[in-house]
Amino acid sequence: MSQILTDVLAANQTYVSSFDKGSLALPPARGFAILTCMDARLDPAKYAGLSEGDAHVIRNAGGRASDDAIRSLVISHKLLGTNEWFVIHHTNCGMELFTNEIMAGLLDNSLDTATVDQSGWHDVGQGPGSGEGHYINWLTFKNLEASVTEDVQRIRRHALVPGYIPVYGFVYDVKTGKLIEVADAMKAGSPL
């Protein structure tokens, strides 16, 4: 058994020993959802003041409004009653450090973890790789505020998203913990 698996299971036993959340309702108590990045430096519960049961938190690489993220938001509203949504990207995001072409090229060579230095990304694996990476849109970006606005606009335009749901756009600053409003995203996400 790996040390990580051992540590996680031990932490779960500690959590279970004082667990008192079994009676929480299925719908989020505060009626909102957050779409944000999977980056380990972000703790939505802390930066948004959440406790278990308060809100839906949807996470993916970059906090992007992918089809699956929108699917989750629609379920969050239609079946569980959320009526306000936040799109929160963050500074120093890894999704700014590569392109679709770079990712596909790295995967062509091997499926092992790549390295990065001042000259760029390098595949150090022994192979085999796969060309399947060329068929995925990795949803990378070069402009942080523009990516927030783009995602808010995509959610707002989606045929399954009611016009009355406000979609807020923010950038989380990993150096300060502050949520910074993205004005263009806030305008784009205003209820219709």
Q: How many CB atoms lie within 10 A of CB 191?
A: 12
**DSSP state letter for 79:** T
Instruction: Report CA-CA distances (Å) from 115 to 47, 90, 119, 131.
Output: 30, 22, 11, 19
Residue 160: which of 58, 65, 80, 77 has the closest Cα? 77
Across the chain, mean pLDDT equals 97
Collapsed DSSP state (helix, strand, coil) of residue 86: strand
Looking at residue 127, its pLDDT comes to 87
Residue 187: which of 143, 159, 156, 160 has the closest Cα? 156
pLDDT in tens, 134-192: 999 999 999 999 999 999 999 999 999 999 999 999 999 999 999 999 999 999 999 98
Question: What's the CA gap between 84 and 149, in Å, rounded?
Answer: 16
pLDDT in tens, 35-65: 999 999 999 999 999 999 999 999 999 999 9
- The torsion angles phi and psi of 137, rounded to 5 degrees, stand at -85, 110
pLDDT at 9 over 90: yes
Proportion of the chain above pLDDT 70, given as a percent: 100
Does residue 171 contact residue 179 with C-beta atoms inside 8 Å?
yes
At 104, is the pLDDT very low, low, confident or very high (cuts 50, 70, 90)?
very high
89-118 burial by CB neighbour count: b if 16+ within 10 A, else e?
bbeebebbebeeebbbbbbbbbeeebeeee
**Residues in CB range of 41: below 8 A, 6 or more apart:** 90, 174
Looking at residue 1, its pLDDT comes to 86
Amino acid letter at 6? T
Question: What's the CA gap between 43 and 37, in Å, rounded?
Answer: 10
Q: In the chain, what are the domains?
A: 32-98+145-192 (3.40.1050.10), 99-137 (no CATH)
